Amino acid sequence: MDKTAPLILTLQLDERSFAFFDEQRRRYFPKGRNFIPAHLTLFHALPGEQLAAIQHDIEAAISGQQPFKLDVTGLRSLGRGVAYALESSELNKMRRHLALGWNDWLKPQDRQNHNPHVTVQNKVDPTQARALLGDLREGFQPFEVTGMGLDLWWYRGGPWEKVRTFVFER
């Protein structure tokens, strides 16, 4: 197993919300490019060689953490795609805590401000993306989802491989 491959950390959503986003992703993502399920990424490229330390840090960070609500506030353009925008002070606090501990390991993308979102379309012509954005905004009503835990994944260039799920206390 290649321990130098990067790791991805995502928020695990409640089953109903995950099913909604994943159905949207299967519907709108280009068929030949949709290799992974719907997800909310917290970190895009953590160092695989630090797997043990990363798992330890995640365990410590979520100790005593209860599932929490996130507000799905709208839709946003990705230029060549569309995403649902989410907000949660609880998620921001957790991510900030982990980012401080992992500062030396973070790539530029993970050092930027975190704007939580779930991508349901990407890698399409901008005209197609704008059309979907308009269609989805037309019937959009804000709603809540629940963060249930964190998922850690290997990224080796194709479909992600799950390393472990860290479940919040219930």
Rounded to 5 degrees, φ, ψ at 20 are: -60, -55
How far is it, in rounded angstroms, from Cα 7 to Cα 47?
Answer: 6
Predicted confidence (pLDDT) at residue 3 exceeds the cutoff of 90? no
The answer for 30, left when phi > 0, alpha when psi is -120 to 50, beta otherwise, is beta
Predicted confidence (pLDDT) at residue 115 exceeds the cutoff of 80? yes
Mean pLDDT on 79-86: 98
**Residue 95 corresponds to which tokens in the numbers above?**
């991510």
- pLDDT tier at 31, thresholds 50, 70, 90: confident
Mean pLDDT on 89-98: 97
Least Cα distance to 5 among 153, 169, 164 occurs for 153
- pLDDT tier at 34, thresholds 50, 70, 90: confident
Predicted confidence (pLDDT) at residue 140 exceeds the cutoff of 70? yes
Percentage of residues of the chain with pLDDT beyond 90: 92
Percentage of residues of the chain with pLDDT beyond 70: 99
Instruction: Output the CA–CA distances (angstroms, integers) from residue 24 to 35, 37, 105, 163, 168, in the order listed.
Output: 14, 10, 33, 25, 26
Structural domains of the chain in order of their starting residue, each with its CATH number: 7-167 (3.90.1140.10)
pLDDT of residue 1: 58
- pLDDT digits 0-9 by tens, 53-68: 999 999 999 999 999 9
Predicted confidence (pLDDT) at residue 27 exceeds the cutoff of 70? yes
The 10 Å Cβ neighbour count of residue 46 is: 25
pLDDT of residue 32: 85
